Structure 1
Amino acid sequence: MTSYSLKHAGRAAACACLASSLATLAAPASAALGDIVAVRTPTSVASAASGTNTTQTLLGGAVQVTQSVDAGGTRLREYTATASGKVFAYTWQGPSAPNLDTLLGRYADDYQRGTVALHVSGRDGLHAARVDTPSVIVESGGLMRSYVGRAWLPGALPAGMTEGDLR
């Protein structure tokens, strides 16, 4: 039987703490819909696998799109209005559905009420749904290990941007 000293236990605990801290740093940074975020400097080359976000601009710099990959391997795209810093949309595609409560933030309750209304009316689909409320629109669908969707604030789309631009 092998015995370990408190010194070994302390080292193991320190390593576990360090690993946890590094995992947190590698996690994609994101804000909820409607939150104000700092506008990021665009990067031309970055690796999602290394936990690095890639950022590009659209509409002549009026919109910034930051792409990241969450812990489940799903690619998230965060759309931010450059002038206000407000996150107005998210899109996702990947093997797992993102945590919509986290992405939707203060709009999560509106979304939940919308899903209940769809279910009660019998308009909820087996593999796809569109929840359309005055404050937030969420489209989601897919099959196992292949989820896609988007969520946006219809009143916050910058001039010149349509829901079709959210891919």
Structure 2
Amino acid sequence: MWSRVRRAGIVTALILPSSLFVVPSAHAGLGGAPMTPPADASVTSRTVQPVGGAAQSVMRAASGASSSSSSSSSASSASGSYTVRDTTLGNGTVVHEYLASDGTVFGIAWRGPQMPDLNDMLGSYFPQYVAGVKTAKAARGGARGPVTVDRNGLVVHSGGHMGAFNGQAWLTPALPAGVSGSDIQ
């Protein structure tokens, strides 16, 4: 016979790992608000105006790590413009978040010695990304290498090697007028 304590331990051991996957992220991500930068990060913002298919920076404003998206939303009030929020993490990785005029993130790019937490960065789109990665790896026989996911309006390119990672992600339907996926860098 199983004792109550032993049954409770087994139930906890079975339920706890699966419950960790359904806990929502503490940070916003793609399709939502910009990420909350860690305390050791530095953040700057710049407004970009698409001009004839090419993006042109029209302003650069520095902000502290504790700043909110208020500076980016006021900076992106010009018609057709968007804001790029650059966050340099403590490990040296730089994350660029592309914000529409309403403050939602429509694109993300990263480059640096460590991969950022894509679960946080992609937000509710992370499961779609994971499914796309599994499909891509299965198609190439499980071989490692750069990953491209293009599913239901989500596009993610991720690659690199130890000490030098990079990637881009964007939501095709959310791209502002005059902006293409190639502008997410």
TM-score, with structure 1 as normaliser = 0.69
- Deviation beyond 2 Å, 4+ runs, structure 1: 123-127
Find the aligned partners of 1:104 and 1:67 in 2 and give their Cα distance. 16
- Pick the aligned partner of 1:70 from 89, 93, 98: 89
1:11-90 counterparts in 2 under 5 A? 31-36=28-33, 51-59=41-49, 61=78, 62-82=81-101, 84-90=102-108
Q: Shift of residue 67 of structure 1?
A: 0.3
Deviation string for 1:64-106 (max 9, x for gaps)? Answer: 0000112322000010001x21101110000001110110010
Q: Give the 3 Å change call, closer, same or farther, for CA 74–153 of structure 1 in structure 2.
A: same
Report the Cα offset of residue 119 of structure 1: 1.6
State the AA in 2 paired with 1:77: H
Q: Which structure 1 segments of 5+ residues have no match?
A: 1-29, 38-49
Larger RCO (CA within 8 A; separation ≥ 6)? 2
1:114 paired to 2:136: no
CA root-mean-square deviation: 2.1
The residue type equivalent to 2:178 in the other structure is: G
- Give the letter for the 2:138 counterpart: V
Structure 2 residue aligned with 1:166 = 184
1:54/1:115 CA distance change after superposition, 3 Å: same
Answer yes or no: is the 8 Å Cα contact 1:107–1:135 preserved in 2. Answer: no
1:103 aligns with 2:121: yes
* Count of aligned residue pairs for this structure pair: 126
Counterparts of 1:123 and 1:159, CA distance in 2: 38
TM-score by length of 2: 0.62
Asked whether the 8 Å contact 1:141–1:149 carries over to 2, the reply is yes
Identity %: 33
Distance change (3 Å), C-alpha of 1:124 and 1:166 = farther
Supply the distance in 2 between the matched residues of 1:57 and 1:31 (Cα, whole angstroms).
Answer: 21
Amino acid across the alignment from 2:41? G
